Structure 1
Amino acid sequence: MRYRTPERRQTDKRGFRRKADAAAFAASVEVSKSMGAYVPASAGRVTVGDLSGPWLERRRGVVKPKTAVMDESAVRVHVLPRWGGVAVGDVRASAVQAWVSELVAGGAGSSTVQAAHGALRKILQDAVTDRQIVVNPAAGVRLPKVVRRRRTYLDVEQLARLAVCAGELGPVFLVLGWTGLRFGELAGLRVEDVDVLRRRLTVRRTVSEVAGRLVEGTPKTAQGIRSVPFPAFLAPVVGAQLAGKAPDREAFSSPLGGPLRGNYIRRRFLAPARALAGTAVERVQAAVGVATSARGPVYGEATVAAVRAWQARHGLAATGAVDVATWEALEAAEGLEGPALVLEEGARDFGALTLHDLRHTAASLAISSGANVKAVQTMLGHRSAAMTLDVYADLFPDDLDAVAGALDALGSATTSEIVGNMWAIRPVAV
């Protein structure tokens, strides 16, 4: 059957068994032409592999370098091996769903699966936009849910403990834990961005590690360019980091010199510091002889009693709390490892910790100090207060009784009298 394309070129389609089928096809062509949705069958012969290169190139111009590297990895490792030689017109939704299931069955994490599917879906969406296929077969595919790891929020004592155990990187962890800066934002600070007198850090740029290279960029959102306060007790710590540096140098430097590298900091400082600081209570319990069955992550009454008894036996003030002198005595007599820490009743150990958990810690400390959601949003550089609430809803108090109490206090005696008179004049029938 012969017909014309929207460009007025004549073409034909064969293989119809019935005249009615040919007529139906002709009608569908005319409808699609009139709606601007006509896609020639030949257009779908281009392969996913053909489109992947140009798609990656376009992405590099609009996304952060780290995102571009992740896109390239998803395409190279997962998309091309399965779909590289497949014509876009031959990709079926059922086949995409089967591919996703195969990735999951093969042990790929949910984030990896979502990244791989996302790359394929975007490549095919370009094919839809360019009239190479009519619909995107990767749209609507069911994906595994990303399981969010439980955040770790450090309290004030735990954060100080971590900083002590981190040694020369302690100031970095303190600033992250009290200001909520992303690690890349801290790495991007220059000396000229720090005002110690006003206690402000001005975030203008970021530094991230991409495929082993340090790449300078901008904050994630427009709101990310901001001025962040830090508490007065950190001023000497921050000031010491700037001493002797030119205005255009890194405010916080690597122990090796030069910019901070996230992978190096995680491996050489965060992990060892967490191992020491996060197990301090349990290690003290073992050193003073707390029964195994009574040990736990909390410095409770049993630990206080055991420490007090140990102090008395060794001629120390029997306070039941671990001070520097007690720690050093435990180190000498019992082999307690790590820098001297101060522990009191109520201290808690903590588990896995990431650099981003220090940002969560800052949010938690700000909220617990009474900061409102708008202030926390500004501090963290979130796009909106709604985003801050979505992320940290569990930290904001749900004090309905306090709301009622505040409203009650707002009402005056006159209001109460008026309301009382209204009820007296117009009693409500029950």
Structure 2
Amino acid sequence: MGTLYYTGQELLEDKKRGKFRGRLSYRDTNNKRRYITRTLNATGKRAANAELAAWRQEKEREHSESLDRSGGISLPVADTPISDYVSQYIDAKERTKAIEPSTISSYRDSLRYIAATFSETRIKDLQPIDAEKWIAELVKEDRSPSTIGKAFRLLKMVLNNAIATGVIDKNPLSLVKPPKRVNKKQGINALDETALAELLDKLSLLELSPVTVAAYIALNTGIRRGEVCGLQWRDIDADNRVIWIRRSIGLGKGGAYIKQPKTDKARDVVLPDTLLEVLEQWQEKQRQTFADNMASLNPNSFILGDALGYYHPDRLSKDWASLTKMLGTRGTEGRRLSFHDLRHTWATLALAHGMDVKTVSSNLGHANAAMTLNVYASADPDAKRRAAGIVECLMRCDQSTNR
């Protein structure tokens, strides 16, 4: 047969489904290793190996015939297997640094679900019915609507790219819808005013530490976990009573890294006097800790970090979970308070006490005020009662005027 195109083969056991899968590897035009997989019919290992060998011979023959038809030229892009095309798309985005490493990592997670079904299907052959069967299979495997939705959106986006580059004429996923997301956590688990006061009382009895200072920052500003971890002392403008949000700590394939805030631009949030007092006390304590480790606290030092760098967002979440378990703090939904719920608490109370939505949106770092309203419009349980009272008052005033 000459030089083999598929340079490797593996037999994979899918224990969850009780089946075997075959995997072949080859090198693309950039000499990068690629894979195609196939679910085998055989139930025994020996028979599965034989079926895998036969499939490999079949794929070698198909490749040889395609080269004969094209005069030795590689397959057209439209004949590329879907999983390969998606993988190449992600690789290109990663090389050009067009998107964040955390997004690349998420794409690669979703690629697994695409490759499991579409490792052999060519881009030009994909039909809406194929996508519907794919989604049905993922639902059958008990994948969450969120997981399915991410994989669906990635594939749809890549196919739109294929249209833009002239590979295909239309997107078959335009006629397909993923399953609706089910909100397992009903409502926003914020703190009401009474619970917030109780939490602040409990925090005041504790020694200042990275996790307690982080809680004070989140409760007073509403900024995100990664943004809290990314704060440096130079971001504190005590004279003008503002905090500058200039960076965030993101999570990617290689671990945590420093990135731009979510909206890719710096913003300022108000620095309340009570928070300033906490930060001043913490700065003195941190300065002593640095000195004990033969280091100097400087404007570029991370507020929650140590002499080696920033406070890892995952560590913050774990430390906060341990603290709330000890304190027994729960939100309006009855669940134990997550660190992100502190952000929800700031936003719901700010809106409930009349802060305009544009200001709230700016503090939160939302792209626009509509996003803020979509998330928090119904978060305040007393909002409807207050609204009804306002309307009733207006109507009574109008009736009194007309008499």
1:49–1:80: 8 Å Cα contact kept in structure 2? Answer: yes
**2:177 is aligned with what amino acid?**
R
- 1:291-370 to 2 correspondence within 5 Å? 350-370=334-354
| Residue 248 (structure 1) aligns with | 300
| Residue 192 (structure 1) aligns with | 234
How far has the Cα of 1:103 moved from its partner?
1.0
How far has the Cα of 1:114 moved from its partner?
1.0
1:199–1:231: 8 Å Cα contact kept in structure 2? Answer: yes
How far has the Cα of 1:56 moved from its partner?
0.5
How far has the Cα of 1:97 moved from its partner?
0.9
How far has the Cα of 1:106 moved from its partner?
0.9
**2:361 is aligned with what amino acid?**
Q
Cα 1:174–1:73, aligned 2, differ >3 Å: closer, same or farther?
Answer: same
Equivalent in 65, 77, 93 of residue 59 of structure 1: 93
1:143 and 2:178 aligned: yes
How far has the Cα of 1:139 moved from its partner?
2.3
**1:369 is aligned with what amino acid?**
H
- 1:1-400 to 2 correspondence within 5 Å? 44-60=78-94, 61-75=97-111, 77-148=112-183, 149-150=185-186, 151-155=188-192, 156-160=196-200, 163=203, 168=209, 169-211=211-253, 213-221=255-263, 225-243=266-284, 244=287, 245-253=297-305, 258-267=309-318, 269-278=319-328, 350-395=334-379, 397-398=383-384, 399-400=387-388
How far has the Cα of 1:408 moved from its partner?
7.3
Aligned length: 305
Q: Hey, what's the Cα distance between the residues in 2 that align with 1:81 and 1:160? A: 50
| Residue 323 (structure 1) aligns with | none
| Residue 72 (structure 2) aligns with | none
2:244–2:266: 8 Å Cα contact kept in structure 1? Answer: yes
**1:170 is aligned with what amino acid?**
T
**2:178 is aligned with what amino acid?**
L
**Higher-Rg member (1/2):** 1
Structure 2 residue ranges without an equivalent (≥5): 1-74, 288-296
Q: Secondary structure in 2 aligned to 1:189?
A: coil
1:202–1:225: 8 Å Cα contact kept in structure 2? Answer: yes
1:376-423 per-residue CA deviation (whole Å, 9 max, x = no partner) reads 1122122222221111101463414425636877x8x9xx5xx77xxx
Cα 1:46–1:359, aligned 2, differ >3 Å: closer, same or farther?
Answer: same
**2:315 is aligned with what amino acid?**
Y
How far has the Cα of 1:182 moved from its partner?
0.4
Q: Higher strand proportion, which one?
A: 2
Q: Hey, what's the Cα distance between the residues in 2 that align with 1:173 and 1:188? A: 14
Q: Secondary structure in 2 aligned to 1:139?
A: helix
**1:364 is aligned with what amino acid?**
T
1:278–1:350: 8 Å Cα contact kept in structure 2? Answer: no
Structure 1 residue ranges without an equivalent (≥5): 1-40, 280-296, 298-346, 421-430
1:203–1:225: 8 Å Cα contact kept in structure 2? Answer: yes
**1:260 is aligned with what amino acid?**
Y
Q: Secondary structure in 2 aligned to 1:251?
A: coil
Q: Hey, what's the Cα distance between the residues in 2 that align with 1:183 and 1:115? A: 22
1:179–1:230: 8 Å Cα contact kept in structure 2? Answer: yes
**1:351 is aligned with what amino acid?**
R
Q: Hey, what's the Cα distance between the residues in 1 that align with 2:366 and 2:134? A: 35
1:203–1:227: 8 Å Cα contact kept in structure 2? Answer: yes
Q: Secondary structure in 1 aligned to 2:172?
A: coil
1:162–1:274: 8 Å Cα contact kept in structure 2? Answer: no
Q: Hey, what's the Cα distance between the residues in 1 that align with 2:136 and 2:88? A: 27
TM-score by structure 1 length? 0.64
Cα 1:382–1:406, aligned 2, differ >3 Å: closer, same or farther?
Answer: farther
| Residue 46 (structure 2) aligns with | none
Cα 1:407–1:188, aligned 2, differ >3 Å: closer, same or farther?
Answer: farther
Cα 1:145–1:167, aligned 2, differ >3 Å: closer, same or farther?
Answer: farther
1:246-282 per-residue CA deviation (whole Å, 9 max, x = no partner) reads 011112226x952111212222x11111212226xxx
2:236–2:242: 8 Å Cα contact kept in structure 1? Answer: yes
| Residue 9 (structure 2) aligns with | none
2:191–2:332: 8 Å Cα contact kept in structure 1? Answer: no
Q: Hey, what's the Cα distance between the residues in 2 that align with 1:350 and 1:170? A: 22
How far has the Cα of 1:349 moved from its partner?
10
How far has the Cα of 1:162 moved from its partner?
6.5
1:206-241 per-residue CA deviation (whole Å, 9 max, x = no partner) reads 11122352211111225x621111322222211233
1:133-177 per-residue CA deviation (whole Å, 9 max, x = no partner) reads 222122232212222323210232243266457962211112112
Cα 1:132–1:388, aligned 2, differ >3 Å: closer, same or farther?
Answer: same
TM-score by structure 2 length? 0.68
Greater Cα offset, 100-109 or 50-59: 50-59
Q: Hey, what's the Cα distance between the residues in 2 that align with 1:189 and 1:273? A: 22
Q: Hey, what's the Cα distance between the residues in 2 that align with 1:170 and 1:42? A: 58
